[in-house]
Structure 1
Amino acid sequence: MCEATHDRAIEACAERLARLYGRSFGGKPSGRYRISAKLLRQLMGRRRLYEDDMRALSRALYERGFVLIDMDSFAVVMSVNTFVNYRRVNEEALT
């Protein structure tokens, strides 16, 4: 697969994953979800996904406001905004 084709596949996959976040499925109106490695490979049109593929997909999703968490057999997609209100660790908490 040439680099331009690979880049388009990454961008198209990221766009579809981002759109899924707003769709209703699995009993929820929208929000975070997980996708199996098999479905992710299908979506990318690849037999295997390598670390570089996952890194590129993660960057493309981040540009769209989402975080991709690779859990080996599946991946999780969450909004970056999910993390905004998390409490922050300071030096005192570490001692």
Structure 2
Amino acid sequence: MTCDNEWIFKTADRLCDFYAQEFGGKKSGRYRIPAKLLREIAGRRRLYEDDIREIGRAVAERGFVLIDMDSFYVIMSANTFVNYRRANEDFL
């Protein structure tokens, strides 16, 4: 972990912490965050593809998924996907 990337880990921590906070009429859970607010949390004027990828990796290490929806981002628990239907060779 280098000092240059410290903001990525702090951003990931904040995004993961929000998952457990009550807002939007729900006690906790998945949420969406506008790109502008993500930039503010990261303390950056711009976030590039590489930045989003690194934040996504840091979030994944904490058990969450960052989904880029172009104008906003979605944060979900990785456990959400465990019970999804699985496609296999028979699917082809």
Taking structure 2 as the reference length, what is the TM-score of the superposition? 0.95
Q: Which residue of 1 aligns with 2:90?
A: 92
Equivalent AA in structure 2 for residue 41 of structure 1: R
1:53 correspondence with 2:21: no
Return the offset for 1:6.
3.5
The number of equivalent residue pairs is: 92
Q: Which residue of 2 aligns with 1:66?
A: 64
Matched residue SS, 1:13? helix
Return the offset for 1:92.
1.6
Q: Distance in 2 between matches of 1:65 and 1:11?
A: 14
Match of 1:13 among 6, 11, 14: 11
Which string of whole-angstrom CA distances, capped at 9 and with x for unpartnered residues, describes residues 39-94 of structure 1?
Answer: 00011111110011001000000000000001111000000000000011011222
Equivalent AA in structure 2 for residue 92 of structure 1: D
Equivalent AA in structure 2 for residue 64 of structure 1: R
Equivalent AA in structure 2 for residue 61 of structure 1: V
Q: Which runs of 4+ in 1 moved over 2 A?
A: 3-6
Matched residue SS, 1:35? strand
Any unmatched runs of 5+ in structure 1? none
Equivalent AA in structure 2 for residue 66 of structure 1: F
Q: Distance in 1 between matches of 2:8 and 2:65?
A: 15
Q: Which residue of 1 aligns with 2:38?
A: 40
Taking structure 1 as the reference length, what is the TM-score of the superposition? 0.92
Matched residue SS, 1:38? helix
